[in-house]
Chains A and B, each alone.
Chain A
Amino acid sequence: MKTKITFYRNKIGITQEDLGKLVGVTRQTIISLEQGKYNPSLELASKITKALKRKYIEEVFKV
Chain B
Amino acid sequence: MKKQNKNIPPREIARYAFAIFVILLGLYFDYLDLSDSFLGFSSVGSWLVYVGFVMIAAITLQLFYYNKRVVDERMIFVANKAMRMTFLALVVFAFLIIVLDGIKTTTITIPYHLFMSYLICGLMIVYFISYKILLRFY
Q: Is the beta-carbon distance between A37 and B138 smaller than 8 angstroms? A: yes
A41/B137 in contact, CB under 8 A: no
Interface residues of B in 97-138 (CB under 8 A from A): 135, 137-138
B70 touches A25 (CB 8 A): yes
**Contact partners of B70 in chain A: CB under 8 A:** 20, 24-26
Tell me the dominant secondary structure on chain A's binding face: loop
The total of chain B residues at the interface (CB under 8 A) is 9
Give residues 26-84 of B contacting A (CB, 8 Å): 70, 72-75, 77
Min CB distance A44 to B, Å, is: 6
**Which residue of chain A is the closest to B136 with respect to CB atoms?**
A37
Asked whether any CB of chain B lies closer than 8 Å to the CB of A29, the reply is yes
Q: Tell me the A residues contacting B by CB distance below 8 Å.
A: 20, 24-26, 28-29, 32, 37-38, 40-41, 44
Other A-B pairs, 10, CB within 8 Å; known A25-B74, A32-B138, A37-B138: A24-B72, A25-B72, A26-B70, A26-B72, A26-B74, A26-B75, A28-B74, A37-B137, A38-B77, A38-B138
Interface positions of B (Cβ within 8 A of A): 70, 72-75, 77, 135, 137-138
Q: Can you give 13 A-B contacts (C-beta < 8 A)?
A: A20-B70, A24-B72, A25-B72, A25-B74, A26-B70, A26-B75, A29-B73, A29-B74, A32-B74, A32-B138, A37-B138, A38-B74, A40-B73
